[in-house]
Chains A and B, each alone.
Chain A
C-alpha cells in the first residue's frame, strides 16, 4: 500500500519543530506501525537524510517505550493497543497519516517524535518503598489477599507507564498513570503501611512536574493501551482526602 505521512521533525528541545511530508510506497499490511517507520528510515538513510527518531524497545506491547500520536490519537486508532502492536492492515491504501509526538508541558520533545517522560520516574520515586522483607520468597499463604482486591491490583498494575493518558488529556494531566500506581498498592495488604504517605507524595510530585488537573473528560481511559480505568482516579481522590486529614500529612507539613 501507498501512504502519505506527515511527520513531526524537531532537531532538539530548544528548536521549533515542523511537519514534513513523506510518500511511502512499499508498505505491507503485516508490518507493525514501527516497522513501517523502520522502512521509511532505511529509505531516508539511503537518500543520505537524517532518519526519524522515535522511541521503542520491546515491540510486544509490554514495556511502555513506544509512543506517537497517530491521527490525533495516542498509540493510534486501535483500541487497547500500543503503537508497536498496531498493524498497517488497520490503514487503507492511499491513507494520509499524521504522526506527532506525545504533547504535554511535562513531556518536552527531545528529538522528532521522542519526548522526555522522566517525570513519570520521579513520581514513582516520590512514592517511595513498601514494607516487605527481602530475602527468600515468603510463604504464599502467610498474607492473604481477597480475590477481588488481587484482581483490581493486577488491573492497575497493567499500566506500562507509556504516558498516552497524558498525551490524550486536553489538560496534559497524569492522573490516570499516578492513580494506577497508587491503586496498585492500595488494594494490597503490603501497600497499607505507607498508603497515605504514598498518595500525598506522588500527587505532590505530579503537580511539581507541571502536569495539568483532571477535568473528568475520561479521554485518558479511552486512549490507554492497557485500559486502565478512571475508577482508579476516584480511588486516588478518596485516598488523598483521607490522607490529607491524617497524621502523615501533619508529618509532611512539619518536615517542610
Chain B
C-alpha cells in the first residue's frame, strides 16, 4: 500500500483530514479576500487576475498542492465514513443529540456538495467551458487615446458579472458557498482538536472563531452574486 497505508490508522487518517483541510481552508480564505477585489472595480480585479496568471510555475505549484490535498481529503473522508457507518449498524429509534451539531453530523454531505460545486466552478471560471460567450479580453480605453487598444489580459470582471446576471448561476453559487460555510463551521475547530491543540484556556475561543470565520467567508462570497444581481456591481456591462 505504501503511502496510503496511513489509511489503516484511525489517528493518522484524521491527521491527514486535518492537514489537507487546513491547506484548503487557508486557500479558501485567500481566495475569498481576492474575490472581494471585485468591489474595487474592473481594473483592480483584472490586474489581480493578471498578476496571478503571471506567476506561471508558482501558480501551478499551488494548484498541484491543492489538488493533491483535495484528493487525499476526499479519499480519506470516504474511508472514514464507510467505517463509521459499519461501526453503528443499528440506529436508535429515538435519538437526542446533546452536543453534535447539524453541521458536524453532515460533514460528508456538505463535503460532497462542495465537491460538485467546485467541479462546476472550475468548469465555469477556470477552464471556461460552460459559458464560452462570457469570455473576452479586456478592451482598455486610455484616457486621451483616439482608438481603443486591446490589452493582453482577460476580462475577469466582465465574465463574473455576465455569469452572475444569470439568476440560475447565481443560485448555484449561493448554495455552494453557504455549504462551504456549514462545512467550515465544524471543520476549523475540528482540525485543532485532531492535531492535539485543545486546552481549556483557548479552545472555547477557537470554537467561536470557527463559526465566526465560516459565517464571514460565506457572507463575503454570497454578497458577490447578490450585488451583481441587484446591479450594485457591473451595472454598466
The interface of chain A, by Cβ under 8 A from chain B, is 6, 19, 69, 71-73, 77, 98, 100, 103-106, 168-173, 203, 206-207, 210-219, 221-223, 230-231, 233-238, 240-241, 244
- Taking CB atoms, residues of chain B closer than 8 Å to A222 are 98-99
The verdict on B199 contacting chain A, using a C-beta distance below 8 Å, is yes
Given contacts A171-B88, A216-B194, A234-B197, contact A71 B11 (CB under 8 A): no
Given A71-B94, A216-B193, A244-B12, decide whether A104 and B88 contact each other with a Cβ distance below 8 A.
yes
> Closest B-chain residue to A233, C-beta based?
B193
Distance of A12 from chain B, by nearest CB (Å): 15
Report B20-49 residues with CB < 8 Å from chain A CB.
none
Q: In the complex, which residues of chain A have a beta carbon less than 8 angstroms from the beta carbon of B105?
A: 170, 217
List 24 A–B pairs whose Cβ atoms lie within 8 Å, in order of A's numbering.
A19-B93, A71-B96, A72-B92, A72-B94, A98-B94, A105-B89, A203-B10, A207-B9, A212-B88, A213-B80, A215-B80, A215-B84, A215-B104, A215-B190, A216-B186, A216-B194, A217-B99, A217-B100, A219-B98, A219-B99, A221-B99, A230-B198, A234-B196, A234-B198
Q: How many contacting A-B pairs (Cβ < 8 A)?
A: 122
What CA separation (Å) do A72 and B88 show in the bound complex?
14
Q: A171 — which chain B residues lie within 8 A by C-beta?
A: 83-84, 87-88
Which residues of chain A are within 8 angstroms of B190 by Cβ–Cβ distance? 215-216
Beyond the given A72-B95, A171-B83, A237-B15, please list 9 additional residue pairs across the A-B interface where CB-CB is below 8 A.
A77-B96, A103-B92, A104-B87, A106-B87, A170-B100, A171-B87, A212-B86, A215-B107, A237-B196
Given the complex of chains A and B, what is the CA–CA distance between A244 and B14 in angstroms? 14
Interchain residue pairs A-B with the least CB separation, the first 6: A212-B87, A222-B98, A238-B196, A172-B87, A72-B96, A171-B84
For residue B10, which residues in chain A have a CB less than 8 angstroms away from its CB?
A: 203, 206-207, 213-214
Say yes or no: is B54 at the interface (Cβ < 8 Å to chain A). Answer: no
Complex Cα gap A230–B104 (Å):
15
Contacts of A104 in B (CB 8 A): 87-88
Q: Which of A206, A231, A244 contacts B199 (CB 8 A)?
A: A231
B90 within 8 A of A: yes
A148 to chain B: closest CB distance in Å?
Answer: 11
- State in angstroms the CA–CA spacing of A104 and B91 once bound together: 9
- The answer to whether B143 has its CB under 8 Å from any CB of chain A is no
Classify chain B's interface size. Answer: 35 or more
Cα distance A238–B195 when bound, in Å?
A: 7
Please indicate the chain A residues that have their CB under 8 angstroms from the CB of B92 in the complex.
Answer: 69, 72, 100, 103
Distance of A30 from chain B, by nearest CB (Å): 25
Residue of A nearest to B91 (CB): A103
Contact among B98, B197, B203 for A168, CB-based, below 8 A = B98
Contact check, A219 vs B87: say whether CB atoms are below 8 A apart. no
CB distance A211 to B99 under 8 Å? no
State whether B87 touches A218 (Cβ < 8 A). Answer: no
Q: Are B196 and A210 in contact, with the CB atoms below 8 A?
A: no
The interface residues of chain B lying within 8 Å CB-to-CB of A213 are 10, 13-14, 80, 83-84, 87
B13 touches A105 (CB 8 A): no
List B78-124 residues whose CB lies under 8 Å from chain A.
80, 83-84, 86-101, 104-105, 107
In-complex Cβ contact of B93 among A100, A230, A236 (8 A): A100
**Assembly CA distance A98 to B195 (angstroms):** 38
Which residues from chain B contact A223 at a C-beta distance below 8 Å?
98
Nearest-Cβ distance from residue B39 to partner chain A, whole angstroms: 35
The residue on A at minimum CB distance from B107 is A215
Residues of B contacting A214 in the complex (Cβ-Cβ under 8 angstroms): 10, 14
**Complex Cα gap A213–B6 (Å):** 14
Cβ contact within 8 Å between B86 and A73: no
CA distance in complex: A21, B92 (Å): 16
